[in-house]
Structure formats: structure tokens, C-alpha cells
Chains A and B, each alone.
Chain A
Amino acid sequence: MADDATMNGVVLAADGLPLKASLNKAMRKSRLRALLLVAPLFIFVLFSFLIPIFDMTMRSVDNWHVSGLMPETTKALENWDGKALPEEPVFAALILDLKAGAISREIGKVGTRLNYEKSGLRSMITSSARKSKKVKEGPYKPIVLKMHKRWKELETWTVIKRNTSKYTIGYYLNAVDMKYDNKTNDIVMQPEERQIYGTLFLRTFAISLAITLICVVLAYPISYLLATLPVRYSNLLMIFVLLPFWTSLLVRTTAWIAMLQSQGVLNDLFVFFGLVDDANRLQLIHNLTGTIIAMTHILLPFMVLPLYSVMKTIPPSYMRAALSLGANPVTAYVRVYMPLTLSGIGAGSILVFILSIGYYITPALVGGTDGTLISNQIAYHMQSSLNWGLAGALGALLLFSVLALYLIYNKIVGIDNMRLG
């Protein structure tokens, strides 16, 4: 006969409730407490970081200009078949929209938007809007056709019709060097001389890869030295890695300008040793060379630290064992030591690669024209050309590649094992 606490096979807790329910209640409480602790930061990051970034990438497909500022035309064009110039009702609607747009002074935005897809349309829209104020009564078609010669072109109407939809992939096409053919509405490659973003993405990847490789080559020997020296020496030498790591990015970039410019320290040394003629000092900065040197220096600690922490865990007896079993030092190194460091190389490489494809400051200051990366182009479209849709599309592509790389990094290293300093 079972006692009270285990009647009907249910284990009861001290307060008489079933133990399972009591345990669940305690678990719920502790889960809730954990969630409450995380909640403030989670909500803060969500609203002030993730949603704004999502919002920015949405700008890359947003196409409100035509449908929002020319609602009548949008409606009238709904059933247009695109084979010939539209009929009178469309022109009547167009005049209405142009007048409204001229009064609200917003019509220029439509012009700017259309101009991305076909140059010349901005001036067509703004000048027609100006003239539309004087138009009293119809028929409107001949009046509009006289306002600007481009209204007579079928292409113009194809572009307008295409952009009456609220969303577009036009910016993404632009970001991968493609566009709509305005005659046939097909997607085609940009003409050769306007294919800049594909090249820029390729260059960004190539430069980042080069920097990553140089970092591996430079980090490997010093990490090995740091990991094998007695602690009292290696702690001292570690300062050489950590001091640059903790020094302001702008300071290091400034330092490289002082080092590399044509009257700079390196060129002075070259001239002093007679390696270079005083008259033709080397151009080491404001070009690709400058970007690679400065960025390698800035990112090298990010390679040394993970490599060092991996090498630190490899017992020196492994190498000694290989040597005593008759391997020559090179074989022992290649077959025993190097495979053990691969995880460190992987972690460091992905970290350096992720950081370098998103780099902005250093290329902007020392990159000149051929040393700039995709970030610089995003900044240009954000701040100067104000083509935010294109900036959003380029940004989304960059973000996507970084996130993919990060997932790989997380697989290899695990974010919990990330070492800082």
C-alpha cells in the first residue's frame, strides 16, 4: 500500500500539489525571470537597430513615387496595353497630376525617380509640370505632346507604366549592373561602360581576400612565437599586438598617412638608402596599395588573437613525438602541427574577411579612387547622390553576404567562444 504522497502513482510535492505541476510552475517562473532580464536590451536592439535596418533595406524595393504622386495617371494607365501612345483620358489624368504636383512641389521626386531608369525624364516632368499650370481645357493629348518631345515616345510611357507598381526590383537590377530595356521591358545587362557595381563587388571581395591572406601569412609566425615562448616574454610581445588593437582607428589611419605619403617616412627611408630616386618617390597612398597596407595593419590583431589562442592549446609534446618517430621537421610540421591550427586559421580568416568587406573609414581616407570598396559607394549614394533606393539595394546585398559568412563563423567557432582582447 502506497502512502499519501504517491497515491494514484502521482508524486506530490511538500505543499500537496503534484510534483510535476509544481516543477513546471518553478520552471515557468525561472524562465520568465530570464526573459524579463533580457527583455529591455532585446526590445531596445529590436526597435532602434534591427527594425531601422530592415526599413532601410525595404527602401531598395519601395517604389511609391509614381503611384503616390501621380495617382490619377496610375489609375488611367491600368488598362493601357503598351502598344501605342495612350488615349485622351490618360493625358487628362496626367494634367491633373502635374498640376497637383506643381502646387505641392513634390513632382520633382517623380522626375528624379524616372530619371534613374531613363535619363532626360526629370527635365520632361519638371518642365511639363511648370507648363501645366497654364493649361485650362482639353483636349489634353495634343497639349501634352507639345510640352516636351519625349511625351511622344512610347518608351517614356513604358517606363511610367512600369513604375506605377508600388514595389520595384529596379534598384537591385542596378546594383548587379542590369536594367530594364525600355523598349521591350526585358531585363538586360547595362552597357559595358556602366557596369560598375559588379566590378566593385568583385573588387571588394578580391581586396578582402587579399587582406585576409596577407593577415594569415603575417599572423601565423608571430602567433606561433607568442604561443611557444615562455609566458614572461610572450606577455611582453603581446603588447605589440594589443596596442594597435586598442588604438583608435583614425589614429592608425593617420599614422599610415604619415608613413606612406610621398614625403612620408617610408619614402624618406627609401630615398636615404638610395632605393628610390628623390624625383620619383613611390605613390603608396590614395590608391589600392595604401588601402591594403593600412587595412592589413588594422585587421592583423583580429587574426593573431584567435590563432594564438588555438596554438596555445597544442601541447609541444606532439611535435616532439613526431620528430622522435623519425619525421623530419617539415613533415612533422605539415602533418601534425598545421592541421591542429586549421580551426584558428578558419576563425581568424572569416573574422578578418567579414570586417574587411564592410570597411568604410580607411578606404575612404587612404583609398583614392581604385582602393575604395562597396561601403564607400553606399555612403556616396546615401550622402551625395541621395539615391537611397540604390544605397539600400547595395547595402542589402552586402548585409546578405556578411550574414552568410557569419553563419559559417558561428558553425566553426560558436559565438560563445569569441574572444575579446
Chain B
Amino acid sequence: MALPSYAGPLETTWYYTFRFICACIFVFLITPILVIIPLSFNVEPYFTFTQGMLSFDPDAYSLRWYEDFINNTQWTHSVKNSFIIAIASTILATVLGTLAALGLSKPHMPYRALTMGVLISPMIVPLIISAAGMYFFYSSIGLDQSYLGIILAHTVLGTPFVVITVTATLVGFDNSLSRAAANLGATPTTSFFRITMPLILPGVISGALFAFITSFDEVVVVLFLAGFEQRTIPRQMWSGIREQISPTILAVATILVMISIALLATLELLRRRNEKLRGLSPG
């Protein structure tokens, strides 16, 4: 959308105004995330830039909040919890979701729309309602304040993403490939693991990443279901913000931003691989 050479002064003005407006919106999107990174190195226990930080005085910066994070058993415990819960629920959600997506993509699946509606309902229902419903349910079967309860709850919340991404990948799947495999003597299992799985793998992985981030970032259900033992990182941040605002939260936030950058990069690589496999231009 380069400015053509015949553009008049009005068009030129509009062109640069438009770019300026866009730049402002991009700044709005990215600034809050970038601002917390330097603030997490603050030597003072504040959420603000000190005079020393602004004049780039090395003494105004420190790693004390990162040390605090590493040495605080509450935080390290919550990190452990977050990973246990997220990994377990991701595995469950990916297996269940992929199987269901395979079924949904079969040409003779009856009641397809209705089934799809039920399967993705956990994504649509507002979290507070899901959390309240699951709170009553899991306490009635004695699974509140337990790891299993939270893992199962997060599995439910994560499956819609797996179902959606894998179904989307299967749209481009050529069924004659598995027929050819069967024709050549492969059992359905062999044909699934040797033919189907490698082709839909990008969809499965990105679905799994969505399920992981859903669980890793989820706090409403944890607020209702978890006891003190099962506190996750977001739950710890929640009480950190509500009770004692300390820049340790900013250190944790910075680490989490780094994790999301890594996730973003992984997804982008997967997208390119997927496009290459389907013969689309890599962009």
C-alpha cells in the first residue's frame, strides 16, 4: 500500500495521518506488556519508574524480585502446581479432543451440528458460570480442593480448542491416503499412526498449545475449586494483586511474557509447516 507517485497533498496528508493513527493503536497494544519488563528490575518496592531508573543508574536496577520469586516457597510451589495441572489436563484434552475431532470429520457422523455445539460449549459459557457449576459438582463428589478436580475441570475447558483446531486441519485431509494405506495392508491403527497422525500433527499441536495456555492462564475455576495446596501461578498473582502488591508479580509477569513469546514462535513455525504440507505458499 505504498503511496502512489501521483498522490495529491490531501492524499499524502491522509496517508501519513492514517499511518500515525495505526502506530498509536499498536503502541496501545504493546506498551503495557513492554513496560512491565524494566519495572520488574526496579530496586525499590514500587510499581513505578524511579528517578534512578530514568537516568539509567545501574544501582536503581536489581534482580531482587527475581530472587524473591525463586526463594519464595509459595511462588515455587505455584509454579510446580501450574505445570502439573496444565500438562496433565493438556494430555487429557488433546487425546479426547483429537479422537472426537476424528469422529466429527467422518462423513457419516450423525447429529454433527448438535454434537459440535455440546463439545465446544465449555468455550462459550462464561467462566464464572462454569466455575460455579463445577464447584457444586466437584464438591458433591468430593473432588474440590484436589489436583484431580482441577485437572478434570481444566480438561473440559481445554477440549473445545483441540476439537476446533484438529477439525480445521482435517478439512484438508485427503481420505484416499488412508484408503491407500488400507489397500496396501495396513491395519486401521497402523494407518492412523503412520499416515493420518503425521499429517494432522500441526493441528493437534496447536490445539494442545491452546489447551495448555487455557489451563496455565485459568484463574476463575481455580479460585472456586482449589485449596491452598493447589494454588497456581495466576491464583498466586490474583492474591498478590489483591492483598500485597509487590514487584515480585512483575518479575513473574516478565517470565510469563517470555513464555508467551516462545509459544507464539512455536505456533508460527507450525503454521508455516502446515501451509507447506498443504502446498500453500509459506507467505
Mark B104-122 against chain A: 1 for CB-CB distance below 8 A, else 0: 1011111000011111111
Q: Measured between alpha carbons, how far is A118 from B220 in the docked complex, in Å?
A: 33
Interface segment out of the listed B22-30, B56-64, B66-74: B22-30
Tell yes or no: B16 within 8 A of A by CB. Answer: no
Query: Which residue of chain A has its CB nearest to the CB of B210?
Result: A420
Q: Is the CB of A398 within 8 A of B129?
A: yes
A358→B127 contact, CB < 8 A: yes
Residues B25 and A221 in contact, CB atoms below 8 Å apart = yes
B125 x A38 contact (CB < 8 A): no
B125 touches A231 (CB 8 A): no
Q: Mark A32-46, 1 if CB is under 8 A from B, else 0.
A: 011111111110111
- In the complex, what residues of B have CB within 8 A of residue A158's CB? none
Q: Which of A400-421 contact B (CB under 8 A)?
A: 402-403, 406, 415-416, 418, 420-421
**Does B146 touch A at the CB level, under 8 Å?**
no
Tell me the residues in window 174-229 of chain B with beta carbons closer than 8 Å to chain A beta carbons. Answer: 206, 210, 213, 216-217, 219-220, 224
Chain A residue numbers with a CB within 8 Å of B11 are 329
The answer to whether A354 and B124 touch across the interface, beta carbons within 8 angstroms, is yes
Q: Is B32 positioned at the interface, with any CB of A under 8 Å from its CB?
A: yes
Contact among A33, A38, A250, A406 with B124 in the assembled complex (CB-CB below 8 Å):
A406
Query: In the assembled complex, which residues on chain B have CB atoms less than 8 Å from the CB atom of A263?
Result: 46-48
Q: Assess whether A167 is interfacial by the CB under 8 Å rule.
A: no
Q: Is the CB of A248 within 8 A of B126?
A: no
Quick one: CB contact mask for A54-83 with B, threshold 8 Å, 1 for yes? 111001000000000000000000000000
Q: Are A48 and B110 in contact (CB under 8 A)?
A: no
Q: Is the CB of B1 within 8 A of A40?
A: no
B129 touches A257 (CB 8 A): no
Q: Are B110 and A31 in contact (CB under 8 A)?
A: yes
B145 interface contact, C-beta 8 A = no
Question: With A27-B108, A35-B109, A421-B267 known to touch, is A49 a contact of B121 (CB < 8 Å)?
Answer: yes
CB-CB under 8 A from A173, the residues of chain B are none
CA distance A95 to B161 in the complex (A): 57
Contact B134 A49 (CB under 8 A): yes
Q: List residues of chain B with CB within 8 A of the CB of A379.
A: 128
Interface of A is mostly: helix
CB atoms of A248 and B260 under 8 A apart: yes
A420 touches B129 (CB 8 A): no
Q: How far is the CA of A50 from the CA of B122 in the complex (A)?
A: 8
Quick one: which of B110, B126, B210, B241 has the most chain A CB within 10 A?
B126
Q: Are A53 and B237 closer than 8 Å at their CB atoms?
A: no
- Contact yes or no, B29 A241, CB < 8 A: yes
Asked if B79 CB lies within 8 Å of chain A CBs, one says no
In this assembly, does B91 line the interface, its C-beta being within 8 Å of a C-beta of chain A?
Answer: no
Distance of A265 Cα from B39 Cα, bound (Å): 10
Query: Which chain B residue shows the least CB distance to A52?
Result: B137
Tell whether, in the assembled complex, residue A41 and residue B163 are in contact, meaning their CB atoms are under 8 Å apart: yes
Q: How far is the CB of B136 from chain A (nearest CB, A)?
A: 6
B135 CB-CB contact with A under 8 Å: yes
CB distance from B283 to the nearest CB of A (A): 5
CA distance A420 to B158 in the complex (A): 13
Please tell me if the beta carbons of B224 and A34 are within 8 angstroms of each other in the complex: no
CB nearest neighbor in A for B255? A251
Interface string of A237-264 (1 = CB under 8 A from B): 1011111101111111111111101011
3 shortest interchain CB distances as A-B pairs:
A358-B126, A37-B103, A52-B137
The contact sample of 6 A-B pairs, CB cut-off 8 A, is A31-B106, A38-B115, A248-B216, A255-B253, A398-B129, A418-B164
- By a beta-carbon cutoff of 8 Å, the part of chain A in contact with chain B is 27, 30-31, 33-42, 44-46, 48-56, 59, 218, 221-222, 225, 228-229, 231, 235, 237, 239-244, 246-259, 261, 263-265, 268, 297, 300-301, 329, 354, 357-361, 365, 375, 378-379, 382-383, 388, 391-392, 395, 398-399, 402-403, 406, 415-416, 418, 420-421
Since A34-B104, A51-B137, A415-B164 are in contact, a sample of 18 more A-B pairs with Cβ atoms closer than 8 Å, ordered by chain A residue number, is A34-B109, A37-B100, A37-B102, A41-B97, A45-B118, A45-B121, A52-B133, A54-B133, A218-B28, A222-B25, A246-B213, A255-B253, A263-B48, A357-B126, A358-B125, A382-B224, A395-B132, A402-B124
